[in-house]
Structure 1
Amino acid sequence: MPAKLPPSVAQNAPQFEPEPSATITGRFLRGSLTSTLGIGARTAGALLLNKLLALYGGPGGLTLLAHFQNLLALFTILPYDGVHVGLVKYLAPLRAGSGRYRAWFGAGIILNLVGLLLGALALLLTPGPLVGVFQLTAGWMFWFILGIGLLSAHALLGSVLLAAGQLRAYVWLTVTLSFLGVSGVGAALALGWPVEQVLLTYLLAQALTLLPTAVVCARAGLLPRLSGRVSKVALRSLGRFLLMAGSLLVFGTAVNFALREVLIARFGLAQTDLWQAVAKISDNYTMVFTALMSSVYYPRLAALSTQPAAQRAYVRTVVLLLAPVLAVGLSLVYLLRDWLLPLLFNVQFAAASYLFAPQLLGDWAKFITWLLLFLLTAKAQVGRYVAVQAGSAMLYVALLQGLLPHYGLLGVPLAHAGRFGLLLLLSAVYFRSYLRRGNG
């Protein structure tokens, strides 16, 4: 489960009695509608990017895109889901330019630079495991590290905007990021560049968003002058947020990265493309789900942390609302699979149709499981969160080892379904008091 932004201050006065289900449902749906612009831009950009690489990226182009995006996640997950999450929490109640504001902002910059330096050293010292599949040059790696640095700086300033409540500016910058990334890829493909250069252009084009982001932050007075002193308290406090992000890196992103390399070595780029197409469709609607949950569900869940009865009613209502809605939506994806694959990718990807059933079943279980596991984040139960991530990864690897030799590519979505089916069962037992009526 991806790490989420910490909640802002509670938006409503304390409520000591659970709200009616209709009230909870109405608030949830209204909040979801307000988050559609940025989510729509990201989704449209991702779909168009997939289409471009599937059509013009050559054999394995879609798999190489996914592998590159996974590589970006390896370098950015610690600042994005660690440092920047902490910055939003600590900067939100402070006045821009105050001494404490400068201390937190400076600590965030330092931890960002440390993360970038560690990533650059890992890339330079062990390029084989990270970028060996791309067969790259030293010059390519230089531009890659530069692009990662600029993109991380944009994301850090984006967290500053969120902390200041500049949501509209943040959404429009997200739209700009998506537009620049897709435009860069389209231009590089039109020039006939090899896919490795196309992917590098994708990164550098997105990194250009740093310029308008810095302008917006400067005009809003959110870029304070920094002193030479470093706050050890701020460094330690922000460092705590790296724990959950670190578990996502080790037990999530790294596992997916290694899995794709195994599939490429075992089945080749062309065959791996079939599984990757199904995974990409899953990634797109998963992105929509997580964006909505992080902006609507989780903040309200965390705001109710001091009201256990209301929190239980909220979780139960949202689960009962979304379980059938998700089932219907994913069933529709299954029914339209033979139409979606050629539309979103290419005619050759229609051969991936047989992989959909276990993937969609696993995604339904994943989404319901995440609704429950958000409670660990809302309660700041870091140890249990890390334990769940580790156990989930080990279960997934064990299932893959047992299923891949017998089922080939089909073993991957089967392992996915088995993993989250078991996690859902365990989560439902652990959080059973949130699912039963009459616990208020």
Structure 2
Amino acid sequence: MLRLIKSSFWSFLSVLVRAISSIAINKLFAIFYGPNGITLYAHFQNLISIVTTVPDGGTNIGIIKFLASGLGEAKMYKQYFWAGAALNVVCIVSALGVIFGFPGYYLDAFLSALSGSDVWLWCLSFGAGSLLLTLNLQLQAVVLARRELKWHVFSTTIMTLGGAAVVYFTTGNLPIVQVLLLVLGAQAASFFLMLGVLYFKKLLPSFKNVSIPRAVYKDLWKYILMALSAVVCLKLTNFYVRDFVISRLDLYQTGLWQAVVKVSENYSTVYTAVLGMLYYPRMAAMVNEEDALQKFVRNTFYLIFPTLVIALLLVYFLRDWVLLLLFNEDFVQAAYLFDYQLLGDFFRMWSIVLTNLIVVRAHVKLYIGWQVASALLYITLVSVLIDPFGLEGITMAHAIRYAATLAFAMLYYNKYIRL
């Protein structure tokens, strides 16, 4: 119990720091650079996510699973650590290749303000910063697998506060394209601190005489495939639906719906971060202990129910205030969209407790099939419901999609929640 309380404290602290820093850095960009600055910062974040999403959502999830489930000693530990690093570098180089291969699409907003050698220097700095930031996420995954949560919080704090500090102390006196690189540099610098932490904690294995069998790469590759399927299905589906809504309604109406989606993303990020730090590593550690895993999943599934209900009801009753806080009075009229949005979020967030079993057990075909089926169902529902119900039809589709996800998860993993 004491260990759980300590883990919960560090998890809460990490989420709190990230939330405050995210709000602060957005406010600072808005103050110093206005709406254009916010747009460029959001675009820059999207670029970073292209590089980091597959390594962090794929390889690092696999690293947590294998290093937390009894493979964290000597030879096996070294193999999974360095195999993960190698695969992450491949993912990073591939993602940077895509970005630099289509500079007109991905980088024009930044490079148009530069000339000559400054373009190459900017690209080089972006690539180096992205590499260090992504590798730092792997080091964070290692300490998470070894349940060294305070060091995970330490790294997260340095990353998030460092970025906010850069914007604060430059006070808008530098061109925004330079400030964005400085923010990335401040976040990437955490890599060197974490490198020292792992060395101090004896979690940094030697590279000497490393021999990695193909089976290790195969184990981690499954998680990369799952991450790729999730990225493709989610990103492409969201892009298609957003474009479809714009074509059927207009930019203003779409903006109202997107404001509600942004609110949803904010509290969902907090929820998934807590589960990622507390729930998934413990599941991974129990993956070979079926009775203990069933008991842990069952207890978590029913314990989290009232917490979700209370939290989402609080958002519902404060929806007008939240829209005013994050946006302005023009968006308050979107409050009616919270009805089905929150219902769908409840189904989605509760189902994660069970769908994490697909990930921890690396059921690749099931995971990809579920992602594809979920995306197709959502697209179909939106196309059917948008005409009779307008914007509310999109949130209805969201609710039905995740009600189906929860029903599938409860049926498939029935033995894990049977009382």
- TM superposition score normalised by structure 1: 0.77
Cα distance in 2 between the residues matched to 1:200 and 1:273: 29
2:185 aligned partner: 204
Cα distance in 2 between the residues matched to 1:410 and 1:146: 44
Match of 1:72 among 31, 40, 48: 48
**Letter paired with 2:100:** L
Cα distance in 2 between the residues matched to 1:54 and 1:406: 38
Cα distance in 2 between the residues matched to 1:74 and 1:178: 19
Contact 1:316–1:436 (CA under 8 A) maintained in structure 2: yes
Question: Which deviations, in whole Å up to 9, do the C-alpha atoms of 1:357-392 show, x marking residues without a partner?
Answer: 222111111111112212323443222122111211
Residue 240 (1) aligns with residue 222 (2) = yes
**Letter paired with 2:95:** G
1:259-278 matched pairs, under 5 angstroms: 274-278=256-260
1:108 aligned partner: 84
Describe the SS at the equivalent of 2:207: coil
Cα distance in 2 between the residues matched to 1:408 and 1:144: 42
2:137 aligned partner: 155
Question: Which deviations, in whole Å up to 9, do the C-alpha atoms of 1:186-230 show, x marking residues without a partner?
Answer: 456633745x66555443332222232223233344444424865
Describe the SS at the equivalent of 1:190: coil
Cα distance in 2 between the residues matched to 1:304 and 1:269: 48
1:184-203 matched pairs, under 5 angstroms: 184-187=166-169, 190-191=172-173, 193-194=175-176, 199-203=180-184
Cα distance in 2 between the residues matched to 1:165 and 1:31: 8
1:330 aligned partner: 312
Match of 1:374 among 344, 347, 356: 356
Cα distance in 1 between the residues matched to 2:142 and 2:181: 27
2:268 aligned partner: 286
Contact 2:136–2:188 (CA under 8 A) maintained in structure 1: yes
**Letter paired with 2:196:** V
2:200 aligned partner: 219
Cα distance in 2 between the residues matched to 1:407 and 1:189: 46
1:241 CA drift (Å)? 2.6
Match of 1:395 among 377, 384, 390: 377
Distance of aligned partners of 1:363 and 1:50 in 2 relative to their CA distance in 1, 3 Å threshold: farther
Contact 1:50–1:345 (CA under 8 A) maintained in structure 2: no
Contact 1:70–1:257 (CA under 8 A) maintained in structure 2: no
Contact 1:63–1:276 (CA under 8 A) maintained in structure 2: no
Match of 2:335 among 353, 367, 390: 353
Cα distance in 2 between the residues matched to 1:426 and 1:33: 33
Contact 1:62–1:273 (CA under 8 A) maintained in structure 2: no
1:35 CA drift (Å)? 2.2
Cα distance in 2 between the residues matched to 1:30 and 1:214: 24
1:42 aligned partner: 18
Residue 87 (1) aligns with residue 69 (2) = no
Describe the SS at the equivalent of 2:362: coil
Cα distance in 2 between the residues matched to 1:268 and 1:342: 22
**Letter paired with 2:195:** A
Residue 425 (1) aligns with residue 407 (2) = yes
1:144 CA drift (Å)? 3.0
1:18 aligned partner: none
Task: Point out which structure has higher relative CO (alpha carbons under 8 A, 6+ apart).
Answer: 1
Question: Which deviations, in whole Å up to 9, do the C-alpha atoms of 1:71-97 show, x marking residues without a partner?
Answer: 43332122112222333445565788x
How many residue pairs match? The answer is: 410
Contact 2:223–2:362 (CA under 8 A) maintained in structure 1: no
Residue 343 (1) aligns with residue 318 (2) = no
Cα distance in 2 between the residues matched to 1:404 and 1:188: 46
Q: Which runs of 5+ in 2 are unaligned?
A: 113-118
1:17 aligned partner: none
Distance of aligned partners of 1:223 and 1:369 in 2 relative to their CA distance in 1, 3 Å threshold: closer
Question: Which deviations, in whole Å up to 9, do the C-alpha atoms of 1:226-263 show, x marking residues without a partner?
Answer: 24865243433332331222222222245445656777
Contact 1:327–1:364 (CA under 8 A) maintained in structure 2: yes
Distance of aligned partners of 1:213 and 1:313 in 2 relative to their CA distance in 1, 3 Å threshold: closer
1:334 CA drift (Å)? 1.5
Cα root mean square deviation, aligned: 3.8
